[in-house]
Amino acid sequence: MANPIRFTPAPIDPKLELQKRVDAAPVEHAEALLVAWDVLQSAHDKGLLDALQGMIDAKDTIAGKVAEYAKLPEGIAGIRNLLTAAKILTELDPEVLEKLSRAIRDASEEQRKETTPPSLWQIAKRAMSEDGRRGLSFATLLLTGFGRGMKR
């Protein structure tokens, strides 16, 4: 019959392992450490670290004020609005949002170029174009949704 091989793993000292990693860090992460030190120095130069230290020191006061305002009706409404706005943002398609952003920028540029306000006929022509009708359709869908939501 075969004899079992006795194996006893060498004891591992977690502190020694951490020290090895710390000793190797400057070599392995030199560039990242330099960038982190630059960021830290910039934060110090701009007073951000002092502000952060002040916030840490005043954490009880800050938490008390936040709790005080959060229990007010305005605070509750504000938190609910913030959560609803976050929900709306997560439901938006990034491509549609990008197109909307581009359309707003283009419309702003065109509006700046106008020396006089457009006539009603020019506005009607814009509204009757294919793109204008597409935009009006979207706007009326939004208005319809708002109206549906306002029913009591």
92 to 6, 88, 95, 132, 134: CA distances (angstroms): 63, 6, 9, 22, 18
φ, ψ (nearest 5 deg) of residue 126 = -60, -45
121-147 tens-digit pLDDT? 999 999 999 999 999 998 999 899 989
Q: How far apart are CA 52 and CA 43, in angstroms?
A: 10
Indicate the pLDDT class of residue 22, thresholds 50, 70 and 90. Answer: confident
For the chain, percent of residues with pLDDT exceeding 70: 100
Counts of helices then strands in the chain (DSSP H, E) = 8, 0
Name the pTM for this structure. 0.46
Indicate the pLDDT class of residue 29, thresholds 50, 70 and 90. Answer: confident
